[in-house]
Amino acid sequence: MSISPPLYTSQQQHPLVILGAGYTGLHVYQQAIEKGGLAFATSRSPHTQLDSIFPEHRIRFDLAQDSTWGNVPDPADLVWCFPAIPFDLVKNFLLTRSQFSGRLLVMGSTSAYIPDGHPITENTYLKTHLPRVQTEEYLRTHYGAVVIRLAGLYGPRRHVYDWIRKGKIQNTKKWVNLLHVEDAAAICLQALEQASDGSTYLASDGHPRTWAEICTVASSKWQITIPPLTKSQNAGKQISIHKLHTELDYTFRFPDLYEALDSIEIGTT
């Protein structure tokens, strides 16, 4: 028996459109649907890339092809998942919208900040020479976009222990900040509802760790072969989520990295 997509709810002023629904964006879509909202997801190839969602909710959108821009509902709340570049195309796309009365949330990366030997906060200097950061700040200051700068994402099909098995991780004392993809999606939706226009938030699980620590746990608990301990030329960075705690009071679904990794390892999530 087929399941009909949920109807528009009176609590939702505008439909939600996830621009570039990849790994994280599809989780945003699913959580929005579970909350009873009306959500759409876009892709350059929606029939193949979005086959897990309702056909009625698939939209073809390619920033590089302005002929697809009109496919995005207007007005709508937008969650921008892919790098917001190039600047001219991002700017022109938003200018084509009759009146941007919905909210805009942009996913960024904690790599946008310049490490200074202290915990990274929203006030840490940005790498303003990066085109992506320039556009994010333009959207924040000109369109009131909420910018969520995400730590390294993991979850089903992005398993940290598999990264070690495949040799993608070096056993070093470099700091790393991680966040489960379901928490990333939930943080974005909560920020879309509660955050002030033009706000920026850093998002991680709040517990910086070293790769050496993670490798040690993987070896001792799961007998995963790890590379020898080596010295890293990059100390990494530690992310502070004080603002996320104090302003959004977000409750994590996966607060414990190792419990979450155990669940992925045994195939329960």
Domains in the chain, start-ordered, CATH in brackets? 16-153+179-204+238-254 (3.40.50.720)
Average pLDDT for 132-139: 98
**DSSP-assigned letter for residue 129:** T
Q: Assess whether pLDDT exceeds 90 at residue 258.
A: yes
pLDDT tens, 50-61?
999 999 999 999
Q: Cα separation of 21 and 79, whole Å?
A: 9
pLDDT at 176: 97
Q: What is the band of 13 on the pLDDT scale with cuts at 50, 70, 90?
A: confident
Q: What is the pLDDT of residue 100?
A: 62
What's the token pair of residue 214? 């993670």
Query: How far, in Å, CA of 244 to CA of 256, rounded?
Result: 17
Q: Give dist(CA 54, CA 47) in Å, integer.
A: 10
Structure pTM?
0.93
